[in-house]
Amino acid sequence: MGIFSAIMGKIFPPKNKPAPAAAAPSAAAPAAPPPPPAPVDVEAVLTALAASKGGGGNWRTSIVDLLKMLDLDSSLNARKELAGELGVNAGPHGSAEQNLALIKAVWKALAENGGVVPASLRD
């Protein structure tokens, strides 16, 4: 599992597991498709998590603080891996330039994967 998948796993609710079947569906009644997942308000989820952890640092603009708040590896190697996953090639690894590009790429990718991310985080 990649770093971005781990980020999504901490923010998005687990996918609905199918309920155990009480009886086999009849041939006359086709199974209904599951409803699409509701969009996730990423900022609300992270704000609540930050409050539960006493603030969460500067998670809105710092990739390191976001990863720490999510209890994920924030090391240089982890950020290098995340940069590779998201195609971020800004500045040398570990530089402020790359870290800023990474946090913006995370917000963008979360929005592309069903998250509601305010423009204030994406820009």
Does residue 113 or residue 18 have the better pLDDT? 113
Q: How many residues does the chain have?
A: 123
DSSP 8-state symbol, 79? H
Find all residues with CB under 8 Å of 79, minimum gap 6, and list them: 63, 64, 67, 93, 94, 98, 99, 102
Record the tokens describing residue 76, joined without a space: 């240089």
Helix axes 42-52, 3-11, angle to 10 degrees: 80
pLDDT at 67 over 90: yes
Q: What is the pTM for the complete model shown?
A: 0.80
pLDDT in tens, 73-115: 999 999 999 999 999 999 898 899 999 999 999 999 999 999 9
pLDDT of residue 62: 95
Where in the chain does DSSP place strands (E)?
Answer: 40-41, 115-116
